[in-house]
Amino acid sequence: MRKLIIIGSGPAGLTAAIYSARANLNPLLYEGEQPGGQLMITTEVENYPGFDNGVTGPVLMDTMRKQAERFGTEMRQENVIEVDLSSRPFKIKATNSEEEAEALIISTGATSRWLNLESEEKLRGYGVSACATCDGAFFRDKKLLIVGGGDSAIEEAIFLTKFASQVTIVHRRDELRASKIMGERARKNPKIDFLWDSVIVDILDPAKKRVVGARVKNVKTGKIEEVPCDGVFVAIGHDPNTQIFKGQLEMNPAGYLITRNGTHTSVEGVFAAGDVQDHVYRQAITAAASGCMAAIDAERWLEAQEE
């Protein structure tokens, strides 16, 4: 039986591994089949402390992974497909193995919702982004499109006007889903305009490895026009990766794990860190910080069980 198992290999999971390994908990970390989380599809990261010239997402995650391994974390590139949290030790079933653990840290993250376009996938990190805070500064004096109509989309659009020369909100309806106050702020911002009743059907140009425009379709008339732009931001929400924990851990209506007193979940001995429980900040640095918290919470909880 393991003292501690960590599920998830983004900044939260790897930071939790670093701290818990240094505390001699000998953690086992399930990385999933695509280790590294969302930062693996991010090119330049300029807002993570300690890198004065920035760092690419994959390099940052590889550095964290090596650091966790250096202190003795065991890594398994498997997906966890089932957990039983009804009693301790907790039972974890993965693609090729089954384990038991006294404590569990969940850092499975959240997945950005995308438009599911082939061109969008090819241009992620080359002008297509789902995080204005992460990537907005790369678009000084550029023209941007942002897809969405909720509060988060409007917040991101307003944030992007700090850098961009123009931000056009593309929304499939003829009115925003955002709160009235957010809608008013957007309408009053001279850098923001709107494309109503519209959806993006293609992003140009994967062959050039950069965004030069988008094909936008009016859902009422069916007319398609090419809109020049330098970047496309997608702000249509995120889905927390919590399917296997449903019915076992307390979640909010959107499916994010609820934590109290730091990183404690509704089941004693189970902790959550990173975007799987954070639907507000969603940054690499906040995920890493909560991974540190989860490791310390787990270490202290395990010590208390031995008293």
Indicate if 152 and 216 belong to the same structural domain.
Answer: yes
Indicate if 83 and 39 belong to the same structural domain.
Answer: yes
| pLDDT tens digit sequence for 124-161 | 989 999 989 889 999 999 999 999 998 889 989 999 99
Indicate if 65 and 199 belong to the same structural domain.
Answer: no
Last residue of a domain, one of 234, 263, 294: 234
Indicate if 229 and 178 belong to the same structural domain.
Answer: yes
The whole-angstrom separation of Cα 265 and Cα 49 is 29
Say whether 292 is catalytic.
Answer: no
Please state at what angle helix 284-306 crosses helix 11-22, rounded to 10 degrees: 40
From the candidates 62, 131, 151, 197, give the one annotated as an active-site residue.
131
Indicate if 229 and 122 belong to the same structural domain.
Answer: yes
Q: How many domains does the chain have?
A: 2
The whole-angstrom separation of Cα 217 and Cα 223 is 6
Indicate if 244 and 104 belong to the same structural domain.
Answer: yes
Indicate if 188 and 269 belong to the same structural domain.
Answer: no
Q: What is the pLDDT along the chain (307 residues), one digit of tens a residue?
A: 999 999 999 999 999 999 999 999 999 999 987 788 888 877 788 889 999 999 988 999 999 999 999 999 999 999 999 999 999 999 999 999 999 999 999 999 998 899 999 999 999 989 999 989 889 999 999 999 999 998 889 989 999 999 999 999 999 999 998 889 989 999 999 999 999 999 999 999 999 999 999 999 999 999 999 999 999 999 998 899 999 999 999 999 999 999 999 999 999 999 999 999 998 888 999 999 999 999 999 999 999 998 7
Indicate if 15 and 89 belong to the same structural domain.
Answer: yes
Per-residue HEC secondary structure of the chain comes to CEEEEEECCCHHHHHHHHHHHHCCCCCEEECCCCCCHHHHHCCEECCCCCCCCCEEHHHHHHHHHHHHHHCCCEEECCCEEEEECCCCCEEEEECCCEEEEEEEEECCCEEECCCCCHHHHHHECCCEECCHHHHHHHHCCCEEEEECCCHHHHHHHHHHCCCCCEEEEECCCCCCCCCHHHHHHHHHCCCEEEECCEEEEEEECHHHCCCCEEEEEECCCCCEEEEECCEEEECCCEEECCHHHCCCCCECCCCCECCECCCECCCCCEEECHHHCCCCCCCHHHHHHHHHHHHHHHHHHHHHHHC
Whole-prediction pTM? 0.82
Last residue of a domain, one of 175, 210, 234: 234
Indicate if 207 and 250 belong to the same structural domain.
Answer: no
- Structure tokens of 241? 């990766």
Indicate if 122 and 227 belong to the same structural domain.
Answer: yes
From the candidates 52, 62, 135, 174, give the one annotated as an active-site residue.
135
The whole-angstrom separation of Cα 304 and Cα 116 is 47
CB 284 within 8 A of CB 48: yes
From the candidates 134, 229, 230, 297, give the one annotated as an active-site residue.
134
Say whether 135 is catalytic.
Answer: yes
Nearest to 33 by CA among 90, 89, 91, 80: 80
Domain CATH for 258 = 3.50.50.60
Q: Which domain holds residue 142?
A: 118-234
Last residue of a domain, one of 234, 265, 282: 234
Q: What is the pLDDT of residue 12?
A: 97
Indicate if 198 and 243 belong to the same structural domain.
Answer: no
Indicate if 247 and 211 belong to the same structural domain.
Answer: no
